[in-house]
Amino acid sequence: MTYAKELIAPRPAPKVERRPLTAARIVGMAILALWVLLAIALVGMVIDGWDQQKFLRYGPRYLSGLWTTISLVGLAIILGAVLSLPIAFARMSKNRVANAIAYGYVYVFRSTPLLAQLFLVYYGLGSFRPQLEAVGLWWFFREAWYCGLFSLTLNTAAYQAEILRGAIESVPHGQHEGAAALGLQKWVAFRKIILPQALIVALRPYGNEIILMIKGSAVVAIVTVYDLMGETRYAFSRTFDYQAYLWAAIFYLAIVETLRHIWAALENRLTRHLKR
C-alpha cells in the first residue's frame, strides 16, 4: 500500500483573463448605446406627445383590434395544426401521388407571399360568386374576416407540416425498432414514443411560427379586417398622428414578448428531464 508523504500546497485560483478591447467590441457597444438612446427618445416622444383625448377615443378600438388579432391568429394556428397532420404524413408517405400533392402544396404556400395568397382568396374567389352561392359557400367567402382566417390557416399549415415532418424524421430509427421489439403497434408506438419526442424537437420552431403569424396577420387590415393594424390605420386616418403606429408597435412587441416568455417556460418544463 502506498500513501502520500507530502500534501500539495494550495494554489490560488487562476486569474480571470480580460478580453481585449477589439474593434468589433467597440462597434457592438456603440450600436447597443445607439439602440438605448433610440429607446429613450421614443419614450420621451410618447410622454411629450401624450394626448388624453385621443387615448380615450381610440383606446377601446385598439383593444378591440388586439382581440381580433389574437382570435384570428389563435384559430388559424389551431386549424393549421389540424391540417398539417395529414400533409406531414403525406410528405413522408411512400405513395408518390400523395407525396407529390403534399410537396406541391407546401412548395406553393411557402414560396409565395402571404399578401398574394390573401388577395387570391379575397378577390380571386370573390369573382366566383355564382358558383359559391350554388354550393352554399358564399356566406363564408364574402366576409373579409373569414377570408383572412382561411388564408392564414392555409399558410401556416404548410409551415407546420414541414416543422412536424422534420421533427418526426429527427427521431432516431432505433426508437421505432425498440417499439417493434416490445410488440407495440405502430400507431401506439407513434403516439406514445415517437410523437412526444418529435414535439420536443418541434417546440421552438412552432413558437417561431406563431410569432411570425402574429406579425404577418397585419396584412388582413388591407382587406378591411379591423384587427390591431386595421384599427391603427383608422386612428391614423383621423388624427394623422404618427404615434398611432408607435402604439401598434408597442402592442405587437408586448404580444411577442409575452408569448416568448410563455414558450420558454413551456420548453423548460417539457425538457427538464434532459437537463443535468
Surface-to-core class of residue 254, CB atoms within 10 Å of its CB (0-12 exposed, 13-18 middle, 19+ buried): exposed
Whether 116 and 104 have beta carbons less than 8 Å apart is answered as no
106 touches 91 (CB < 8 A): yes
Interior CA angle at 191 toward 155 and 193, to 5°?
Answer: 115
d(CA 98, CA 91): 7
Largest CA distance in the chain: 100
Structural domains of the chain, ranges and CATH numbers in brackets: 68-220 (1.10.3720.10)
| Contact (CB, 8 A) for 99 and 90 | yes
CA pair distance 200, 198, nearest whole angstrom:
5
| d(C-alpha 149, C-alpha 159), whole Å | 16
User: What pLDDT is stored for residue 193 in this prediction?
Assistant: 81
CA distances in angstroms from 226 to 61, 72, 76, 140, listed in the order given:
9, 11, 17, 17
Position 159 scores a pLDDT of 94
Contact between 65 and 234 (Cβ < 8 Å)? no
Express each pLDDT in 212-224 by its tens digit. 999 999 999 998 8
The enclosing H or E element of 127 equals none
Closest-CA residue to 175 (of 184, 165, 162): 184
Model pTM? Answer: 0.80
* Residue 138: all three cell numbers together: 358564399
pLDDT tens for the chain, residues 1 to 276: 566 666 777 778 777 777 777 888 888 889 999 989 988 887 787 777 777 777 788 888 889 999 999 999 999 999 999 999 999 989 988 888 999 999 999 999 999 999 999 999 998 888 888 888 888 888 888 888 999 999 999 999 999 999 998 888 888 878 777 877 877 787 888 778 888 888 888 888 898 999 999 999 999 999 888 888 988 988 888 888 878 888 888 889 889 999 988 988 888 887 776 666
Alpha-carbon separation of residue 163 from 76, 88, 93, 197 (angstroms): 16, 9, 16, 13
* Grid coordinates given for 176: 421505432
